[in-house]
Amino acid sequence: MIQLSSQNFPHASGVYFFKDENNAILYIGKAKNLKNRLSSYFFSSDYKVIELLKAATDIEFIVTSNEIEALFLEAQLIKQHQPTFNRLLKAGNPYIYIYFSTEKIPSISIVRIKKKQGQYFGPFLTKRDAQIVVEYLKKSLQLNICNKKIESGCLQYHINICSGSCKNDFDLESYKLRLDIARQILDNQYEQAMALLDEQIHISNVQLNFERSAHLAMYQQHLQAIIKILQTLQTTKLTHLKDFAMQATLLHQKKNIEISSNIELLSNLKKRLELKKIPYTIDCFDISHMQSQSMVGSCVRFLNGRPDKKNFRHFDIKSITQQNDCAALIEIVTRRYKKSENFPDLIIIDGGKGQLNATAHLAGPAEIISIAKGDHRKIGAETIFFPDHHKIIPVDIHQACDRLLLEIRDYAHHFAIEFHRKKQKITSKK
C-alpha cells in the first residue's frame, strides 16, 4: 500500500499517475491543484480510492500550464495506457457529447448517448468539461435559446447572451450562422469559421446593415480569442507529449516484461498439470449457500494470469432447492457455456472427486480439474483432482503455478460469497 504524503506536490495544475510495484500505471487523473487533489486521496473513505491506495506504491505527475491543458493530456494518456482503475474511458461507461439538434430552431446541448439524429462532438471525459465548452460558445456566440415570449426581447438578449428567440422578429438565419461557427470551432475548422464571418460582414456592409456588421465583428473578436487559446493549448500539449514519449516507451517495455513473466508462469502450469496447451484463459466455478438457502454460483475468468473481471459471472441456482453442490455446479457450468465460443483453455471446479465427476462431461474442448479445500498454508493439505481417477497431486504453495491456482479458486469463492450475502440481505428485507 502506498505510504506517500502529498507534501511534495506543487500547487499547480497537472496530470498525476498512481503506479504499482512493477511501475505499471494504475490510474491517471488531472487536477487544477495537484497538492490539494492528491491530498484528498489520503482522507477519502470511498472504497474504490482505498483499493487504489492499497495497490499503488508510487505517484508521479506532470505539471501543465492550466487545467484545460491537463484535460487534453489526461485524455490522451488514458486512451494510450488504459489504466486498470480508470473506468470512465473503458467499455460500459457512457461518454459525454456536445449535441447539435436538427429541429426548426436547432439547439446545442450535452448528452450521454447518441440516439437522436443530429451532429455530435466529443467524447468528453466529464459533464463539467463539456459544460465549460458549451457555456463559453453560448455566451460568446449568443446561442442561448429562450423559452420566453417578449416582443422587445428578454434581459439576456439585451446583454448579448440570449439568441433572441424570445422576440417575435427572431432572426433565425443569423442564429443558424452562429451555430455553424460553433460547429466549425468544435471541428477545428477555424479558418473556415473566420472566412464565413468575413463574408457575412462584407454582405452586411454592402446592404448598409451596420448594426448586423457590428454584431458579426463582435463574434469575430470572440472567435479570434478562441483560436489563440486553442492554438496555444495545442502547442503546449504536443510539447508535453514529446517529453512523455520516452517514459511511455519504458512503461510499454515494462508491460511486455510483465506479460512475458505471466506466460512463463502459465507454461509452468501447463507442465505441472500435464495439460495439452498453455492455459491462457482459466475459468473457476464455486457454489455458496447457507443451509440450502439463497443458493448461488460464481464463475471467474483469468486471462494471461490476471483477473478478467468483465467475464466474471454470478448465477442464481434455479434447478434445485435443497443442498446439492454437484447438481448446482452442473447447472451453472451448463449455463456458462451455452455458446461454444465461451469455453476457456482450463476449467477449475472448487470441490473434490464428486464435483469433478459431475461436471467433467460439460467441459467441451477445455481441460478440467478440481481443487479440494484444506489448509492452504500447508503443503499437501489441498488436493488437485483430474478426470483420470488415478491422477491426484497435492498443492505445493512453494510453486508459483500452484499459488496461481489457489488465487483463482479464492477469487471464485469470495465472488460467490459476496453475491450470496447480497441475496440474503434482499431476502431478509422482504
Q: Are 304 and 259 in contact (CB under 8 A)?
A: yes
The C-alpha cell at 205 is 456592409
Q: Which of 396, 401, 349 is nearest to 371 (CA)?
A: 349
The C-alpha cell at 252 is 510499454
281-429 has the same fold as 14-81 = no
The mean pLDDT of 368-374, rounded to a whole number, is 89
Query: Greater confidence, 140 or 372?
Result: 372
pLDDT band at 389 (very low <50, low <70, confident <90, very high): confident
Query: Greater confidence, 193 or 286?
Result: 286
Distances (CA, A) of 227 to 16, 42, 159: 28, 39, 24
Strand 14-19 and strand 281-290: pairing?
Answer: unpaired
SS3 166: coil
Query: Greater confidence, 369 or 291?
Result: 369
Q: Other CB atoms closer than 10 Å to residue 400's CB: what's the count?
A: 15
| Residue 347, pLDDT score | 97
Domain residue extents for the chain: 14-81, 96-237, 281-429
Residues 6+ apart with CB under 8 A from 35: 6, 9, 10, 11
**Which residue reads 507442465 in cell numbers?**
271
| Residue 240, pLDDT score | 43
Q: Which long-range contacts (CB under 8 A, 24 or more apart) does 373-378 make?
A: 376/406
Query: Greater confidence, 199 or 222?
Result: 199
Q: Other CB atoms closer than 10 Å to residue 201's CB: what's the count?
A: 18
Spatial distance between the Cα atoms of 105 and 191, rounded to a whole number of angstroms: 26
Cα 27 to the center of its chain, rounded Å = 10
| Residue 236, pLDDT score | 44
The mean pLDDT of 164-181, rounded to a whole number, is 87
Q: Which of 138, 184, 173, 175 is nearest to 159 (CA)?
A: 138
Spatial distance between the Cα atoms of 358 and 396, rounded to a whole number of angstroms: 26
Question: What's the CATH class of domain 281-429?
Answer: alpha beta
What is the CATH number that goes with domain 14-81?
3.40.1440.10
Spatial distance between the Cα atoms of 38 and 70, rounded to a whole number of angstroms: 15
Q: Other CB atoms closer than 10 Å to residue 197's CB: what's the count?
A: 21
| Residue 384, pLDDT score | 94
Residue type, 347: I
Strand 346-350 and strand 281-290: pairing?
Answer: parallel
The C-alpha cell at 225 is 480569442
Q: What is the pLDDT of residues 284-335, one digit of tens each?
A: 999 887 655 678 899 999 988 888 888 899 998 888 877 788 999 999 999 9
Q: Other CB atoms closer than 10 Å to residue 88's CB: what's the count?
A: 14
pTM of the model: 0.44
